[in-house]
Amino acid sequence: MLKTGNHGQRIFFPAFVHSGLEAHQTVNKNQIAQPKIDLLQPLRRKLDSLEIQNPKLAKFIAKVIPAQCPFERDILLFGRKVAHIPPMCKLNPLYDELVGLRFRALCYLADVCGEDIQAYC
C-alpha cells in the first residue's frame, strides 16, 4: 500500500502489478481436466448398491467387518507406552464402502429383525 501526497489517499500496489498468476492457473486447469481412471469404481458401486435382506448375511457382514481398526496398537514396554501404531484401515481404498455396508447390516438387524446389536459393537 502506498500513500500519495497530503490527501491520505492510498493506492493498493498489487492491483497494478501483473504477477503471472493467470499463466500458472491455465497450466493447472489443463492438468485437472485430464480424467483419472478409477479401477475400483465398479466394485464401489456394487458394495454401495448391495441391499441387506437376509439376517444370516447381515450377521456375517457384522462379524467379518470389524467395528474398529484391528491394527491400531499401543506398544508397551515395562508398563510404559513407547510407541503408537496408528489405524491403517483408512489406507484401504474400499474403507468407506465397507463401513457403510456394515452400518446397513447393523441397521437391518436392529430395525427389521429386532435384534440387539451390542454383541457386534
Strand 2-4 and strand 80-85: pairing? unpaired
φ/ψ of residue 56, rounded to 5:
-65, -40
Reported pTM: 0.64
| Interacting residues of 34 by C-beta distance below 8 A, sequence separation 6+ | none
Most confident region among 54-58, 88-92, 116-120 by mean pLDDT? 54-58
Mean pLDDT of all residues in the chain? 81
Residue 43 pLDDT = 93
Residue 24 pLDDT = 54
Mean pLDDT of 32-49: 85
Give 38's pLDDT tier (boundaries 50, 70, 90). confident
Range of the domain at 115: 2-120
Which is more confident, 77 or 6? 77
For residues 108 and 121, give the distance between their C-alpha atoms in angstroms, rounded to a whole number: 15
- Smallest CA-to-CA distance from 105 within 62, 45, 71 is with 62
For residue 78, pLDDT over 70 is answered with yes
Contact between 52 and 58 (Cβ < 8 Å): yes
Residue positions counted in the chain: 121
Contact between 44 and 97 (Cβ < 8 Å): yes
How many separate domains does the chain show?
1
CA angle 37, 42, 46 (to 5 degrees): 155
Residue 87 pLDDT = 87
